[in-house]
Amino acid sequence: VTCPDGHVTANRACCALFPVVQNLQENLFDGGECGEEAHSALRLSFHDAIGFSLNSNKGGGADGSILLFNATELTFHANGGIDDITSRQFPVFETTGLTPGDFVHLAGAVGTANCPGAPRLQFMFGRPPPIAPAPDLTVPEPTDDVDAILARFADAGFDASEVVALLSSHTIAAADVVDVTIPGTPFDSTVGTFDTQVFLEVLLAGRSFPGNGSQPGEVLSPLAGEMRLQSDFVVSRDSRTACLWQAMVNNQQLMVSSFAAAMAKLQVLGQNVNTMVDCSDVIPEPAPFAGPIKFPASFSMADVEQACASTFPQIQTVAGPAPTVAPVPGS
């Protein structure tokens, strides 16, 4: 159908979303940037949705409870730093007429689409209002071991390959509260691009800490100005996940398709998809990533701590001296 404003979409119900997407781009994402708010919108969508369990009552999943019941959920330790994005999203949310769940997961999809190389995520429309806050301890922590991480995700319905796929998100990610002395410290050297660089850089031998020494959940990183989460480190080297991790290195297509599939599942956890409308065509088409990825300057295969026996992809090195990764502005 053609909407009154001229947009074309598969279902008339989706027409209401085009002005909301524009509102998000103008009032939350600085005119459509892959910046701090876009990164945090994706993180928020995860922290909301993972409040769910197949086996016990752990919340309503992708219901927007983290936005509506922020007074409760933001006290949970794993939600450190989330107050920043909920306080920026709330005033925009109030202008849209959407339910909290639709708003949080639309913002996650639109924010991700602002990052070159990202997939155009699915967006299902029609989440009812959340009933109650999720309980504590549903969100994995960077101090968790691989057993705990895989168990928590399995409890929410995700296998090991889906966990690795979802961790692609850390290609557009930075930490504000792991080390509070260095807000906005990225997890890879290309934090504004949805590429496979994070899968490569987490495998490089660690050399230093970017800030105030070793913090809980942090391990040595290869580059000045870069943060490495202990959870990414252990997942990249565990026998259950190492080959899944390595397979992502320089395989943009695999990363994008597996991330999109896992996100499609995450963003409707606990929801009745039969009563929802597929409004994916309201999500902007992301710019492509030209690729291929490269080793950061001065790094090579000799720095890779390979944990999977499969052949490692051939990767060139950026010319010049080792870079210092800049913090994400506005963090």
**Active-site annotation, residues:** 47
176 annotated to bind ligand: yes
195 annotated to bind ligand: yes
Q: Closest distance between ligand HEM and the C-beta of residue 170, in Å?
A: 6
Task: For residue 238, state whether it binds ligand HEM (rule: CB under 6 A).
Answer: no
Of 40 and 250, CB closest to ligand HEM:
40
Side-chain-side CA neighbours of residue 216 (13 Å): 7
CA distance 177 to 153: 23
User: Which residues are bridge partners to 218 per DSSP?
Assistant: 229
Q: Closest distance between ligand HEM and the C-beta of residue 21, in Å?
A: 19
Task: For residue 28, state whether it binds ligand HEM (rule: CB under 6 A).
Answer: no
User: Which residues are bridge partners to 172 per DSSP?
Assistant: none
Q: Which of 178, 174, 226 is nearest to 205 (CA)?
A: 226
Task: For residue 173, state whether it binds ligand HEM (rule: CB under 6 A).
Answer: yes
Task: For residue 142, state whether it binds ligand HEM (rule: CB under 6 A).
Answer: yes
Residue 8 burial by Cβ neighbours in a 10 Å radius (0-12, 13-18, 19+)? exposed
Contacts of residue 94, defined as CB under 8 A and 6 or more positions apart, other chains included, come to none
136 annotated to bind ligand: no
Which region among 19-27, 173-181, 241-249, 286-294 touches ligand HEM (by CB under 6 A)? 173-181
Q: How many CB atoms lie within 10 A of CB 120?
A: 16
| CB contact at 8 A, 172 and 39 | yes
Q: Which of 141, 164, 297, 143 is nearest to 222 (CA)?
A: 297
282 annotated to bind ligand: no
**CA-based Rg of the chain, rounded to a whole angstrom?**
19
Task: For residue 169, state whether it binds ligand HEM (rule: CB under 6 A).
Answer: yes
Q: Which residue has the tokens 């870069």?
A: 226
Q: Which of 330, 303, 318 is nearest to 174 (CA)?
A: 330
Task: For residue 258, state whether it binds ligand HEM (rule: CB under 6 A).
Answer: no
From candidates 231, 241, 252, 267, binder to ligand HEM by CB under 6 A:
231
Task: For residue 171, state whether it binds ligand HEM (rule: CB under 6 A).
Answer: no
- Binding letters toward ligand HEM, positions 81-120, x by CB under 6 A: x---------------------------------------
Task: For residue 188, state whether it binds ligand HEM (rule: CB under 6 A).
Answer: no
- Binding residues for ligand HEM, per CB under 6 A? 36, 39-40, 42-43, 46, 81, 140-142, 149, 166-167, 169-170, 172-178, 217, 229, 231
Known binding site for Mn(2+): residues?
36, 176
